[in-house]
Structure 1
Amino acid sequence: MHPILKVNISELTVSERIQLAEDLWDSILATPDEVPLNDEQKRELDRRLEIHRQNPNRGSSWQSVKQRLGLSE
C-alpha cells in the first residue's frame, strides 16, 4: 500500500485504477509550471511549436487519431 493512500491500489477495480490515474494526471496539469523540464525538453517543445506555427494544418486531430486507433464510435 502506498503510504499516502488508505487503500491498496491492487484492490481497486481496473476502472477505479484508471480513474485514479486520470485524477493524478489532472492534478499535475492543474499546476503546469511545477512540471520540471530540462533544457533539451524545452528546446524540443519550442521546435514543435515553431513547426505548428509555420503550418497549423499539419498533423491530425485527436478525433482522427482515435478513429485510426479504433477508439471512437
Structure 2
Amino acid sequence: MRRSIEQLTEEILSLPSAARALLAEKIVESLEFDIDPTIQTAWTNEAKRRRDEITSGAVQPIPGDEALAQVRLLLE
C-alpha cells in the first residue's frame, strides 16, 4: 500500500533531528537545479558546516518562531 504525503510527513517529522537533516540533504540532492556548480558547492559546504556546528554542540539552535521574532525586532 502506498503512503500518502501526509502519512510520510508525519513519519518523517517523528524522526530524530539528525535523521531528518540527512533525509532533507538527500532529497535536495535528488532535485535538479540549473544552478552554477560553484554556487551549489558553496551552499552545500555552508549547510554541512552549520549542521556540524549543531551536531557538535558549538551552536544551539533556536525554534523558528523565536528566530522570526528576533528578526522582526531587528527590522522595526
TM-score between both structures, scaled by the size of structure 1: 0.37
The structure that is helix-richer by fraction is 2
Query: Higher relative contact order at CA 8 Å, sep ≥6: structure 1 or structure 2?
Result: 2
TM-score (norm 2): 0.36
Larger radius of gyration: 1
